[in-house]
Amino acid sequence: MKIAMFSTKPYDRFYFDKYNSKFNFSINYYETSLNKDTANLSSGFDAICAFVNDIIDEETIKILAKNKIGLIALRCAGYNNIDLVAAKNHKIKVVRVPAYSPEAVAEHAMALILTLNRKTHKAYNRVREGNFSLTNLIGFNLHGKTVGVIGTGQIGATFCELIKGFGCKIIAYDIYKNEVLEDNGITYVNLDELFKNSDIISLHCPLNKYTKHIINKASISQMKTDVMIINTSRGALINTANAIEGLITKKIGYLGIDVYEQEENLFFEDLSERIIQDEDILRLMSFPNVLITSHQAFFTKEAMMEITTTTLENLEAFNKKTKLINEVV
């Protein structure tokens, strides 16, 4: 089977070449992202493999269908970037990697909290310059703080376990309650209560029409002054303009994001020699209490191995016409 893989980096090639020896697929790696302008690169292939910021809208899918693509294999968990109705109408199957390493993302969320709080990134730079002053490096004890977790799927549940180890009180919101978490002392509340009572809010829910801009002007107004907001899920969970306003008014005391609403034009690329045109990201980068990483929460050896092997197994199931256990329907 011939596969066109889009939005690839050297690490993608390394892991897929390593584990493809078991399957012997013919894989063409393209650095370019998949969209309506690049979809014709799929000509002559049986399936395509896409990533989080590829734009797989109706127009793109029409081109894929014309090129007789039978499968879209997402090497990620989220699928908000794909028009599932169009894919179904054109009889193209869609598979994903539903769970690769919840520990990887949860641990990165924890890293953002600790770094923002204790300012280790600033201390590191100071010491390298011979500045051993502690001025403006003061943090706070996590112990005893109330942490609100929005979304308690595998990643959110893992994050709850981590933050509980710091002696925090955990409240959570999800349309489906996790009984194991409840048994372990996590209390489910409604969103308004979570916004009002949390010292730290960590987002672990998927992006859909119900969760888009769940952090907005109205929800921020309910939060405690100096609240910390962490997002390692999807960028559009936060209304960026409203978050900037919250930072300016000092309602938001700390913001840690590994994802960004317009990240497809920025993340995974080296733009150090270019003038960045995105005014919102530049504004966010100017705040001393904002920490941004470029969608690296998933990026561990264990997660890359799981992403690669699950994607290859999804492709093998399609190739052998067996059940697609990770099909998005």
Identify the active-site residue in 96, 213, 295, 306.
295
58 is catalytic: no
Residue 194, SS3 per DSSP: helix
103 sits in which H/E element: helix 102-118
User: How far from chain centre, in Å, is Cα 16?
Assistant: 21
Distance CA 311, CA 308 (A): 5
276 sits in which H/E element: none
Identify the active-site residue in 108, 204, 234, 306.
234
Residues in the chain: 329
263 is catalytic: yes
107 is catalytic: no
**Angle, CA of 212, 102 and 24, to the nearest 5°:** 105
The amino acid sitting at 186 is: I
Identify the active-site residue in 263, 269, 274, 283.
263
Residue 309, SS3 per DSSP: helix
- Do residues 93 and 322 lie in contact, with contact meaning Cβ atoms separated by under 8 Å? no
| Pairing verdict, β 26-29 and 71-74 | unpaired
What residues are labeled active site?
A: 234, 263, 295
